[in-house]
Amino acid sequence: MAVLPIVHHPDPRLRQRTRPVTDFGADLQRLIDDMFETMYAAPGVGLAANQVGVRLRLAVMDCSPDKAQPQPIIMVNPEILAQQEPSLVEEGCLSVPGAQEMVKRFHRVKMRAQDRQGQAYELEAEGLLAQCIQHEVGHLNGQLYFDLLSELKRERLLKKLQKERDEA
């Protein structure tokens, strides 16, 4: 396994919609393992393939409160089927380091995806896991969490990020 470089905003690869996974062979298995290694090393609770420069509909997550007992989840070709109970939550992103904002997410979601072997499954989630699912599916659709902000808040955040890049 290897830790992969994480793509940072404003890299245009983060804005591209990802392609469906059709090949569940050894390359995909290696990518999944590398993505988990990268996510845990960051550290983060979720990582989409386009965040490591791969344009596939694949994301990995682990929202377990105890990292000694991991609960890894693989979402291949995920789609959100239902969302309930909108709420404001604080959110950040490995591709936008150092920035967190309050965004509207749904407290409960139902989604369908495939596992690493291509077997379809459905999952109902709430809280942090529901938030993470929405965040990662957003990435796979070319969206970033700050797209959910008002135009004024988004503009302030983007100016702050640009200033930090200029000073680096």
Give the Cα separation of 67 and 52 in Å (integer).
22
Catalytic entry in 85, 122, 136, 167: 136
- For CA atoms 146, 93, 17, 134, give the dihedral sign: negative
E strands along the chain, which residues? Answer: 46-48, 58-61, 73-93, 96-114, 120-126
Active site annotation includes 136: yes
Give the Cα separation of 16 and 11 in Å (integer).
10
Asked whether the beta carbons of 46 and 59 are under 8 A apart, the reply is yes
Give the Cα separation of 28 and 59 in Å (integer).
12
Give the Cα separation of 154 and 160 in Å (integer).
10
Is residue 17 classed as helix, strand or coil in its secondary structure? coil
Catalytic residues: 136
